[in-house]
Amino acid sequence: MGRDKPASADLCHDGRAMPDEPTVNFQIEVPGELQNTYANFLAVWHSQHEFTLDFMVTGMATPGPEAVTNVPARVVARIKVPPTVVDDILRALATNVSLREDAMKSMANQDRPGPNAEEKPQ
């Protein structure tokens, strides 16, 4: 018989139910010397064997010739991943974007007075 809601041990990283496979727990370690890196631009390219994600920081735009704007962009991190994990990355991003959007909507609704709220005098 199926379950309405899978147990947490039976979930993939993005909340989907896993097939009947052994549970794998990744013991994630973040080295102390690893620093957060800010990026506001991403370029993605691929070969037959890997996807490359270049995370960049953009500089000030400057006008160029003939209505072209030049924007310098410095690569701050280059990550190479095998094609087999790209779908998982996209699903994880989509899940987190959705969670963020839901949280933002919830915060916006808390700031908005309800239909029966009294107006405050100014």
Evaluate whether residue 42 is within a structural domain.
yes
Asked if residue 37 lies in contact with residue 55, where contact means CB atoms within 8 angstroms, the answer is: yes
Evaluate whether residue 2 is within a structural domain.
no
Q: Which residues of the chain have pLDDT under 50?
A: 1-9
Range of the domain at 91: 9-111
Say what the pLDDT of residue 108 is.
Answer: 85
pTM of the model: 0.66
Count structural domains, the chain.
Answer: 1
Q: Going by C-beta distance under 8 Å and a sequence separation of 6 or more, which residues neighbour residue 4?
A: none
Evaluate whether residue 80 is within a structural domain.
yes
